[in-house]
Structure 1
Amino acid sequence: MECTVCNRAIGSEPSPFHCATCARATLFPHRAQLAEVLLDREQEARRVTAVVQGDESAETHYSIRNSHTTIMVDREKCTMGAELEQTKAETALIKETTTQINEHASMLQQQLEQARKEYAARKAVLAQRHSDLQSVQHNITARRKKELDNVQESINETKHNWDKYHSYTVRARVTLCEEAAKLSGLKQKWRKAKDGGLYDIYYIGPGDTLPIVDLRDLNNASFFEVSASITAVAQLVVQISHYLTVRLPAEVTLPHRDYPLPTIFSPSSSYQSRDVPFPGTTPTASTSNSPDASRSFEHHRPLPRPRTLFIDRPLMDLATQDPQAYAMFLEGVSLLAYDVAWLCRTQGLQDEFNEWEDVCSLGRNLFRLLLEQGHRPSTTRTDSRRELTSGNGRSQTGTPTRPSRASVKFGEFSHGTSHSFLGAAENAGYLRGWKLTPPKIVDSLSAMLLADQQVQGWEVLDQKEWHGMDDVIAEEPILVGPKRRNTGLTDDTRSVMSVATSAAATAATAAVETEDMGQGKSRGVNGWTKLKSRTNEGSR
């Protein structure tokens, strides 16, 4: 066969193709064989799918052809072979699962045997414990009571020993305080008054040379005696508080290096553990510029201001020349008196010191506390807030009441021991009803001293000094016109008596005369008058 394009025989020569027709004619047989193979493959695939899926509509028998023979295959038998293979696979899986189940059952059996052994062991232990419990519970009430009695007896013995040793400590404190008071020269002397009665004076130091000044007599006392006696009292109070191991409400600083005289701090400024310079001086550069001070902020805080316990001039001169120092001194001695009163209340004299006059006599309070306290029975404690109790030991409000101790002994309470600790709630309650405060003492003392200073120029004249003064008193001073009075000019030759220029002064004089006549006194007998000349002579 020739090509219609190139006129060459197709397939005659194995030469390259000269046109597309020759190439297409050469590839056509091979394409036909490929199509036949694909169709056979598709047909066999449909038969295999039918055998595997068990399709009833497919043929029961089909043939498999190859290039040599044709084999007839039964579809049902092929299906049974596939089922057989599947059954064998499932059988192998079941055998493997059974083996695993048997192994797990063996393990559970072993665990069950172990659990039975543990149960038997625990049952034996519980039986033993039950037996022990029965033996322990036998006559348990009597044995429990016996054990409680033994414990209570041990507790009581411990408390008894604790109280005994505390009583020894109290005796030692009392002895130390009494000896300190005797060594300081604290004593009481009686003096006879002009009216025939007796009054007591308290001294401190050797002999009878240094009386303890009563705060109400500060205007009339020498400033040397005031400073010396208050310094000695402050030293004694600090020593007593050290022996009693109590912390005073107001901290007292005794004289030491670069601190020649004692001072006292207010309660809010006490016990701050800071180096405070002596009043009137400044801290040294070495203390304020030290590395420790520069690394902290302590030096930036203002230092507390101590109150002085000394004066360098008479109190009346100090009040007029330096009112600030006068106020600081009055506050200082008031705080010291409050410390002494606080000591007395916490050490057995708590039923007193309800008025500010009770704390003014420092010597009397210290003498009663230190030297008279051991010679009289201890006072009974009373709580101002104690509630009335009913017969069942409960208060009227329904709350159980706390039993109170019978008495307060000197040296019993302190801040240094757990026994009778003063900071405990049941012990601190004994100061709860005390209404006296340092500001109240300062205000009352300042008012009393100021009133006393205003009448210091007035003196009492007896009958001999009034002899011959009737005519002088009868004369009425004459003023020279209102213009001179308004200018405030006075004549050097005028009388030293006070000039009565108002009707009120005249009425007051008439009232005094009427009272004197009512008491059976004649005009010109003993009375009060203000003598400027005597005041000037006394100051000189």
Structure 2
Amino acid sequence: MTRQHFPLFLDRVHPLYADFSKRRRPTCISCVHATLYGPRIRQASALLDREKQHTHAEAILRPGNDGVIASLSEDADWDAITAGIKKQCLQKSRDQTQAVEARINDIADKAQQLRQQIEDYKQYVAEQREHHAARRREIADERNQLEMHRQRAHEPIQLAIRRAGQRLEKARNRTVEARATLCHEAASLSGLQKRSGKDGKSEYWLGNVPIPDLRDLNGNLQPDATGTPNDEKAMPQPYEIATAATDSICRLLGNCCHYLSVRLPAEILLPHNDFPHAMIMVTKASYQLKDPPYPSMSASQSSSTAASRIMDRHGVVLPRPRPLHLDRPLPDLVKNDSKMFSLFIEGVMLLAWDVAWLCKIQGIDTINSFDDVCAIGKNLHQLLVATEQPRPQPYRTISSATARTNRSNRVMATPAVGLGAYSHGSAYHSIAGFEGLERLNGWRLATASPTRLLDKLKSYLLNEISGAEWDFLSDKEWDEERDDELPVLVGGTEQPLDARETTMSVMRVAPQDGAASERLGLDKAKGTSGWMKLRGRGNDG
């Protein structure tokens, strides 16, 4: 039953289903049934419409002609539709064929262009090969000609190089000889010489002043007595002799370093205006100040840290120079001013280190221990007097065949190391370069800083001062008549009053040992009569 036949069926079932209202209501079961038929029929009609629309949509969505046919109405012209579809398919097929043919033509044209480009490139490659082959032949001919003319072209240049090298070598050798000659002459004019002492040991003098060994600073230094009046007051004190020796050494080292163009590790400050004595700077503070101020000696006696500093006008703390002079003996300096003693010992050790370093850099390899460093006079004499200037080796060149195989070997021959060879003022054998570092490489004292040597020297001198059992008494002290030392008479005597003189004469008698008598005689011979040694050291016996 379709939807259009459904109202007729309803009318047949109950013709009065639509006449019910608020005023006319059903009164039986059949009337109630008739009342419910209307909503049920409308629901069924809606469900049928929904199913029809769903079926039509599925038919349209189906692929192929089924969907097209299903989408048409029932009264459509099927023949016209079929003819249209065929015509449309034919036109579409023709269009696709034309598009394919056009694409094939484009591809064929592109292929033809590529073939033409390949042919052009092949021709270009062939032309380049011929050009390169011709160029190779030309280069080979030029290389052969260059090899033929190279030897003749290099000979003038090599000859000029050899001549320039010989001139430079001669100039360098003359410079080294001049430096050594100036240093020898400076040492000769300063009076640096070696003498034989009374005990047979070698002594080194600079002028009329002995150069002390650092380990003998506590000893009795005596100047050259030639032309000196035999007066006790005119004889200089040992500490004054040590000061004169350090000043002379500094002056000689300053001249020699100027001639050699060498900068010592510790800078030496020679006396100049407002700088009465020579001083020395520590290695870290050397060559940093152009005009360092002279430190006041009273500052060293102060226990405060601020008083011992040196400041410039802007209040900047400056490094303190180490003194090289004494105003009193070392034992008195240790007791009264230990700080000044430490500074002086540091200064003389830095001076000895400078001398040892200069000897090592100038070709002396015998200074390898603390004892060698302390012998300043021996080192100076060995450097400036005893050594002979080595003869420079002739300039050597190598053959041209060897030069072609190893061009780096075409250098000047290394001359023998001697006085004046190494310098800070020359590019060849420069101390600041690799050759200078190689020269100091392997030196035993290079690894040991001056601080270790300073501690060793300080402990040596302090032990010597503390261990020495010396006591010096003058004649006046023996002549004094003290009440507690007068002889006492027990039981009375009839001797005259001048017996006291006999007693005191007995008190003056020195111990009767041969060593003491010899020492007293030696002291009298040196102009030191009236001094007596009470107990000798272990190395005097």
Indicate conservation of the 8 Å contact 2:345/2:454, yes or no: no
Indicate conservation of the 8 Å contact 1:212/1:362, yes or no: no
Following the alignment from structure 1 to structure 2, what is the Cα–Cα distance between the partners of residues 85 and 378? Answer: 115
Aligned: 1:311 with 2:320: no
Indicate conservation of the 8 Å contact 2:424/2:432, yes or no: yes
Q: What does residue range 84-163 of structure 1 map to in structure 2 within 5 Å? A: 84-102=90-108, 104-105=110-111, 107-109=113-115, 111-112=117-118, 114-116=120-122, 118-136=124-142, 138=144, 156-157=162-163, 159-163=165-169
State the Cα deviation string for residues 346-391 of structure 1 (Å, max 9, x = none): 223x133345555555455445534565xx342999xxxxxxxxxx
Question: Matched residue of 2:128: which SS?
Answer: helix
State the Cα deviation string for residues 467-515 of structure 1 (Å, max 9, x = none): xxxxxxxxxxxxxxxxxxxxxxxxx999468999xxxxxxxx8xx89xx
Indicate conservation of the 8 Å contact 2:361/2:436, yes or no: no
Q: Partner residue of 1:347?
A: 362
Question: 1:51 and 1:409, CA in 2 relative to 1: closer, same or farther beyond 3 A?
Answer: same
- Structure 1 unaligned segments of length 5 or more: list them: 7-34, 204-209, 290-298, 382-402, 460-491, 501-508, 514-523
Q: Partner residue of 1:235?
A: 251
- Structure 2 unaligned segments of length 5 or more: list them: 1-15, 20-48, 222-236, 300-307, 394-411, 474-503, 534-541
Aligned: 1:414 with 2:423: yes
Q: 1:535 aligns with which of 508, 531, 536?
A: 531
Q: 2:279 aligns with which of 260, 263, 280?
A: 263
Q: Tell me which moved more, 270-279 or 78-87.
A: 270-279
Indicate conservation of the 8 Å contact 2:211/2:242, yes or no: yes
Question: 1:288 and 1:236, CA in 2 relative to 1: closer, same or farther beyond 3 A?
Answer: same
Q: Partner residue of 1:320?
A: 335
Superposed CA RMSD: 5.7
**Percent pairwise identity:** 27
Indicate conservation of the 8 Å contact 2:194/2:381, yes or no: no
Indicate conservation of the 8 Å contact 1:173/1:244, yes or no: yes
Following the alignment from structure 1 to structure 2, what is the Cα–Cα distance between the partners of residues 409 and 80? Answer: 119
Question: Matched residue of 1:341: which SS?
Answer: helix
Question: 1:92 and 1:159, CA in 2 relative to 1: closer, same or farther beyond 3 A?
Answer: farther
Offset at residue 312 of structure 1 (A): 1.6
Question: 1:434 and 1:284, CA in 2 relative to 1: closer, same or farther beyond 3 A?
Answer: closer
Question: 1:430 and 1:103, CA in 2 relative to 1: closer, same or farther beyond 3 A?
Answer: same
Number of aligned positions between the proteins? 410
Question: 1:442 and 1:54, CA in 2 relative to 1: closer, same or farther beyond 3 A?
Answer: closer
Q: Partner residue of 2:261?
A: 245
Aligned: 1:378 with 2:390: yes
Offset at residue 148 of structure 1 (A): 7.9
Aligned: 1:73 with 2:80: yes
Question: Matched residue of 2:80: which SS?
Answer: strand
Q: Partner residue of 2:180?
A: 174
Q: Partner residue of 2:30?
A: none
Q: What does residue range 4-23 of structure 1 map to in structure 2 within 5 Å? A: none
Question: Matched residue of 1:286: which SS?
Answer: coil
Question: 1:243 is aligned with what amino acid?
Answer: Y
With structure 1 as the length reference, what TM-score do the two structures score? 0.56
Question: Matched residue of 2:314: which SS?
Answer: helix
Offset at residue 419 of structure 1 (A): 0.8
Question: 1:63 and 1:276, CA in 2 relative to 1: closer, same or farther beyond 3 A?
Answer: same
Question: 2:132 is aligned with what amino acid?
Answer: L
Indicate conservation of the 8 Å contact 2:362/2:419, yes or no: yes
State the Cα deviation string for residues 135-165 of structure 1 (Å, max 9, x = none): 2554887777778877766665554344333
Question: 1:148 and 1:83, CA in 2 relative to 1: closer, same or farther beyond 3 A?
Answer: farther
Indicate conservation of the 8 Å contact 2:310/2:319, yes or no: no
Offset at residue 449 of structure 1 (A): 8.4
Offset at residue 133 of structure 1 (A): 4.2
Following the alignment from structure 1 to structure 2, what is the Cα–Cα distance between the partners of residues 525 and 166? Answer: 61
Question: 1:235 is aligned with what amino acid?
Answer: R
Aligned: 1:213 with 2:225: no
Q: Partner residue of 1:278?
A: 295
State the Cα deviation string for residues 186-232 of structure 1 (Å, max 9, x = none): 114687866899966321xxxxxx52532355443433343344224
Following the alignment from structure 2 to structure 1, what is the Cα–Cα distance between the partners of residues 311 and 453? Answer: 36
Question: Matched residue of 2:254: which SS?
Answer: helix
Q: Partner residue of 2:483?
A: none
Aligned: 1:288 with 2:319: no
Question: 1:252 and 1:432, CA in 2 relative to 1: closer, same or farther beyond 3 A?
Answer: same
Question: 2:456 is aligned with what amino acid?
Answer: D
Question: Matched residue of 2:313: which SS?
Answer: helix
Question: 1:368 and 1:410, CA in 2 relative to 1: closer, same or farther beyond 3 A?
Answer: same
Following the alignment from structure 1 to structure 2, what is the Cα–Cα distance between the partners of residues 316 and 368? Answer: 31
Indicate conservation of the 8 Å contact 2:206/2:248, yes or no: no
Question: 1:420 is aligned with what amino acid?
Answer: H
Following the alignment from structure 2 to structure 1, what is the Cα–Cα distance between the partners of residues 427 and 202? Answer: 45
Following the alignment from structure 2 to structure 1, what is the Cα–Cα distance between the partners of residues 346 and 367? Answer: 18
State the Cα deviation string for residues 94-130 of structure 1 (Å, max 9, x = none): 2442354255335535643553354244313421332
Question: 1:253 and 1:417, CA in 2 relative to 1: closer, same or farther beyond 3 A?
Answer: same
Following the alignment from structure 1 to structure 2, what is the Cα–Cα distance between the partners of residues 195 and 325? Answer: 33
Offset at residue 410 of structure 1 (A): 1.6
State the Cα deviation string for residues 281-319 of structure 1 (Å, max 9, x = none): 644463226xxxxxxxxx6xxx65542211122334323
Offset at residue 80 of structure 1 (A): 3.4
Aligned: 1:369 with 2:369: no
Aligned: 1:330 with 2:345: yes
Indicate conservation of the 8 Å contact 1:276/1:304, yes or no: no
Question: Matched residue of 1:201: which SS?
Answer: strand
Question: 1:417 and 1:526, CA in 2 relative to 1: closer, same or farther beyond 3 A?
Answer: closer
Question: 2:530 is aligned with what amino acid?
Answer: R
Q: Tell me which moved more, 149-158 or 258-267.
A: 149-158
Question: 1:441 and 1:406, CA in 2 relative to 1: closer, same or farther beyond 3 A?
Answer: farther
Question: 2:352 is aligned with what amino acid?
Answer: A
Q: Partner residue of 1:488?
A: none
Question: 2:265 is aligned with what amino acid?
Answer: P
Indicate conservation of the 8 Å contact 1:310/1:329, yes or no: yes
Question: 1:341 and 1:71, CA in 2 relative to 1: closer, same or farther beyond 3 A?
Answer: closer
Following the alignment from structure 1 to structure 2, what is the Cα–Cα distance between the partners of residues 53 and 151? Answer: 102
Offset at residue 408 of structure 1 (A): 1.1
Indicate conservation of the 8 Å contact 1:356/1:440, yes or no: yes
Following the alignment from structure 2 to structure 1, what is the Cα–Cα distance between the partners of residues 247 and 423? Answer: 24
With structure 2 as the length reference, what TM-score do the two structures score? 0.56
Q: Partner residue of 2:35?
A: none
Q: Partner residue of 1:206?
A: none
Question: 1:455 and 1:145, CA in 2 relative to 1: closer, same or farther beyond 3 A?
Answer: farther
Following the alignment from structure 2 to structure 1, what is the Cα–Cα distance between the partners of residues 390 and 454? Answer: 27
Following the alignment from structure 2 to structure 1, what is the Cα–Cα distance between the partners of residues 470 and 178? Answer: 48
